Amino acid sequence: QAKYLAQIILVGAQVVGRAFMRALRQEFAASRAAADARGRSERPQSAAASRIIGISLQEAQQILNVSNLNPEEIQKNFDHLFKVNDKSVGGSFYLQSKVVRAKERLDEELRIQGKDEKERKAET
């Protein structure tokens, strides 16, 4: 009886293992498709910046509550959110770090746009 019990456990583990691997592959494929779709919607440099910084342009804009890339508005919202999320005033270090990452991402996008603008002016 112990032999049959061991075989049942082994077969059950194999079935669960295969199902887990299949689910993992599907999740990986879905993640890759989402990343590819996001990359197609952004310019190549912008998509690269999103991958490097780890936050998309849209997410950064949502975090800092800006709809357009206005440097003054970005800085104003960043300063406010950074202060209210300071740990010394009862804020969250995690949220504060998200605010910093969002600012870095938007600053990088502004740098990319400035570079593109200079290249367009040089061509004309």
Q: Does the pLDDT at position 47 exceed 90? A: no
Please state the domain extents for the chain: 1-40, 42-123
The pLDDT tens digits of the residues spanning 57-99 come to 889 999 999 998 899 999 999 999 999 999 899 989 999 999 9
Which CATH architecture group holds 42-123?
A: Orthogonal Bundle (1.10)
Output phi, psi for 107, to 5 deg: -60, -40
Q: How far is CA 32 from CA 25, 27, 59, in A?
A: 10, 9, 18
**Helix axis angle, 71-84 relative to 93-123, nearest 10°?**
170
* Residue 18 pLDDT > 80: yes
What mean pLDDT do residues 94-115 have?
A: 90
Per-residue pLDDT, averaged over 106-116, amounts to 87
What is the reported pTM? 0.59
Residue position matching structure tokens 């202060």: 83
Task: Give residue 43's pLDDT band: very low, low, confident or very high (50, 70, 90).
Answer: low
CA-CA distance, 2 to 18, in Å (whole number)? 24
